[in-house]
Homo-oligomer: A and B are copies of this chain.
Amino acid sequence: MSGAGVRFDGEAPAAGEEPQSTATLAAVAEAAGVSASTVSKVLNGRSDVSPATRARVQDLLREHGYRRRGGGARQSPLLDLVFHELGSAWAMEVIRGVENVAREERLGVVLSESAGRLTPGQTWVEDVLARRPAGVILVLSDLSADQRAQFTGRGIPFVVLDPAGDLAEDVPSIGATNWQGGLAATRHLVGLGHRRIAVVGGPPTMMCSRARIDGYRAALGVAGLPVDPGLIREGDFHHEAGYAAGRELLALSDRPTAVFTGNDLQALGLYEAARELGLRIPEDLSVVGFDDLPVARWIGPPLTTVRQPLTEMAEAAARLVLDLGRGNAPVTRRVELATSLVTRSSTAPPPGS
C-alpha cells in the first residue's frame, strides 16, 4: 500500500524565529563550516546530516546559548507517550493515567512503541519533532544524549516513567519504590515462616528489577537468612519466563516453599508450572507478585502482590512534563511513588509448619 495521494506537511517551518536567533544560527553555521540550511536540518531533527556534523553543530548551538524562542507558542495540543513494548495490561494502566491528565488539559495522546528497543529510533524522533507536542513521556525507554539535545533545542520537555536504565542526572523521571516493594514482599514471606524463598527477576538491564531483587536480599539479610544464588532467577517480564523459572525451581530436590516474582505476569506463569506439577497454592507453595494488575484479583487463588501505582505514576509524569513545558521549576525532577503490599490468598505458612 503506497502513500500516493496523501501528502503531509511533515517538516516544521522556521517561522517565528527572533532576529537574535537568526544571527546565532548564522554564527553557528559559520563556526561549523556548514550552510545555514544544514544547521536548520539539525534543529529539525532531519536524518540527512552525518552524525559527526550533527554533533559539531549541536555543540556549537549549546556554546552559543541557542534556544529557540517562542517554541511554546507553536506547540500542538498533543502529548507523546512512547513504550519500549506495548501489549500488556501494564501498559494499559499507564495509558489510563496519561489520558486522565490529557483529558483535563484537552490534549491528544499520541501513542507509539520503540519496537522492543530501550532507546527509540531516529525516525520516531524526527516524527515527534515534526509534530511538536507539548511534552514527551518515555516509558521504560531512554533517549540518547544526542536525542535529548534535539528535544531540548526545540523546547520539547520530556520525562522518563519507571526508568529502566541508569539515567543521566538531569533527566526528569517518575518511578516507584521498587527496593521497598521487594523488601515488603520478602518480609511478608519470612513472617509467614518461609526459609527457602526464591525470586524471579526481570531483565538485569532494568534497574527496577535489580532494585526489587536487592530488596529481597535485604529482607533475608535482616532476618538472618542466607541468600542462596540457586534460588535467584532472571528472565524477562513475560508469563513464559515465570513458567520456565517455575519449572526449574520447583524441580529442585530442595525446592523453595515460596517465590517472589518480578511481576504479576510471571506469577501467572508460576501458577501454571505449579498446576502442572500438582502443587497447590498456597498450601504447597506461596507466591507474591509485583504490579497489582487487575488480573491479580481475578486469578485463582487471588494473588498477593506488591502494588505499583501505575496510573498515578503516569498522571504524575504527565503533570511533570507539562510543568516543565510551562517553565515551572518543580521542587524535584525525580520522584518515586510508594509501593504497598496487597495481601490476598496466594500466601500461607509453609507446608508442615
Q: Are A96 and B92 in contact (CB under 8 A)?
A: no
Q: Are A322 and B1 in contact (CB under 8 A)?
A: yes
Is the C-beta of A239 less than 8 angstroms from some C-beta in chain B?
yes
Q: Are B110 and A109 in contact (CB under 8 A)?
A: yes
Contacts of A265 in B (CB 8 A): 298
Per-residue CB contact flags for chain A residues 290-305 toward chain B (1 = under 8 Å, else 0) read 0000110011110000
Per-residue CB contact flags for chain A residues 249-274 toward chain B (1 = under 8 Å, else 0) read 00000000000000001001101100
Complex-state Cα separation, A210 to B8, whole angstroms: 41
Within 8 A of B (CB), among A312-327: 319, 322-323, 325-327
> How many residues from A make CB contacts under 8 Å with B?
63
Q: Are B99 and A92 in contact (CB under 8 A)?
A: no
Contacts of A325 in B (CB 8 A): 6
Is the C-beta of A284 less than 8 angstroms from some C-beta in chain B?
no
Complex-state Cα separation, A130 to B271, whole angstroms: 49
Per-residue CB contact flags for chain A residues 91-106 toward chain B (1 = under 8 Å, else 0) read 1100110010011111
Complex-state Cα separation, A105 to B272, whole angstroms: 39
Is the C-beta of A111 less than 8 angstroms from some C-beta in chain B?
yes
Is the C-beta of A131 less than 8 angstroms from some C-beta in chain B?
yes
Q: Are B99 and A113 in contact (CB under 8 A)?
A: yes
> Of the candidates B87, B115, B127, which one forms a contact with A106 in the assembled complex, judged by CB atoms under 8 Å apart?
B127
A8's nearest neighbour on chain B, judged by CB, is: B77
Is the C-beta of A75 less than 8 angstroms from some C-beta in chain B?
yes
Contacts of A3 in B (CB 8 A): 105
A300's nearest neighbour on chain B, judged by CB, is: B275
Contacts of A55 in B (CB 8 A): none
Contacts of A92 in B (CB 8 A): 86-89, 91-92
Complex-state Cα separation, A231 to B338, whole angstroms: 46
- Give the Cβ gap from A179 to chain B, nearest Cβ, in Å: 28
Contacts of A74 in B (CB 8 A): 9
Contacts of A271 in B (CB 8 A): 298, 300
Known A1-B105, A5-B326, A300-B271; contact A111-B95, beta-carbon cutoff 8 A: yes
Q: Are B77 and A127 in contact (CB under 8 A)?
A: yes
Is the C-beta of A10 less than 8 angstroms from some C-beta in chain B?
yes
Q: Are A131 and B5 in contact (CB under 8 A)?
A: no
Is the C-beta of A282 less than 8 angstroms from some C-beta in chain B?
no
- Give the Cβ gap from A279 to chain B, nearest Cβ, in Å: 12
Is the C-beta of A4 less than 8 angstroms from some C-beta in chain B?
yes
Contacts of A72 in B (CB 8 A): 5-7
Q: Are A104 and B1 in contact (CB under 8 A)?
A: yes
Complex-state Cα separation, A102 to B123, whole angstroms: 13
Q: Are A4 and B78 in contact (CB under 8 A)?
A: no
Is the C-beta of A219 less than 8 angstroms from some C-beta in chain B?
no
Instruction: Sample 18 A-B pairs with CB under 8 A, ordered by A number.
Output: A1-B104, A3-B105, A4-B326, A6-B72, A6-B75, A6-B325, A7-B75, A9-B74, A86-B92, A106-B123, A108-B110, A108-B111, A239-B298, A265-B298, A268-B295, A268-B299, A272-B298, A275-B300
Given contacts A109-B111, A111-B111, 13 further A-B pairs with CB under 8 A are A6-B134, A6-B325, A7-B75, A9-B74, A77-B127, A77-B130, A80-B108, A88-B92, A239-B294, A268-B295, A269-B298, A299-B299, A300-B300
A-B pairs, top 10 by smallest CB distance, nearest first, are A5-B326, A108-B110, A8-B77, A268-B298, A7-B73, A111-B111, A109-B111, A275-B300, A110-B110, A89-B89
